[in-house]
């Protein structure tokens, strides 16, 4: 019997975070939400996660900061970055950091599923 995959969602926008957690749960994932990278780290989110979906730009640590920290610790936890910013070049920056993929808000559920399948 296979276990349910656990996904951590990190986003400082509470309404978006709650909506994404609900969507992932409806897709069959065990999902927890965190308001910041710092909350994720303090709550031992890495140990209980098979993957992370995090906002790229947040107060405090960014999604890229999280990827760097995980790599420094020798973790291979896959990270999907999301952003609402239209800046050019973010895909290359995310890929260079080691993100599994980058989604721009608003994104379609199919795009999220594709990223999750690629990452996990």
For residue 39, which of 25, 29, 54, 50 has the smallest C-alpha distance? 54
Domain count, the chain: 1
- The CATH number of the domain holding residue 29 is 3.40.50.2300
pLDDT at residue 86, rounded to an integer? 86
pLDDT at residue 43, rounded to an integer? 87
Per-residue pLDDT tens digits for 14-28: 999 999 999 999 999
Average pLDDT, the chain: 93
* Structural domain containing residue 28: 6-106
End-to-end CA distance of the chain: 18
In a domain, 18, yes or no: yes
In a domain, 111, yes or no: no
User: What are the tokens at 17?
Assistant: 């975070």
Per-residue pLDDT tens digits for 69-102: 999 999 999 999 999 988 889 999 999 999 999 9
Whether the per-residue pLDDT at 1 is higher than 60: the answer is no
Alpha-carbon distance 101 to 41, whole Å?
21
Whether the per-residue pLDDT at 3 is higher than 80: the answer is no
């Amino acid at each position: 019997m296979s276990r349910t995959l656990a996904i951590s969602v990190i986003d400082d926008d509470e309404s978006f975070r709650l909506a994404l957690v609900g969507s992932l749960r409806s897709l069959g994932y065990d999902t927890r939400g965190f308001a910041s990278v710092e909350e994720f780290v303090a709550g031992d989110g890495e140990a209980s996660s098979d993957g992370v979906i995090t906002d790229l730009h947040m107060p405090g640590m960014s999604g890229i900061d999280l990827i760097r920290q995980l790599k420094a610790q020798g973790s291979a936890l896959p990270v999907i970055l999301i952003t609402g910013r239209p800046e050019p070049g973010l895909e290359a920056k995310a890929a260079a950091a080691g993100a599994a993929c980058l989604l721009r808000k608003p994104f379609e559920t199919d795009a999220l599923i594709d990223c999750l399948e690629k990452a996990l």
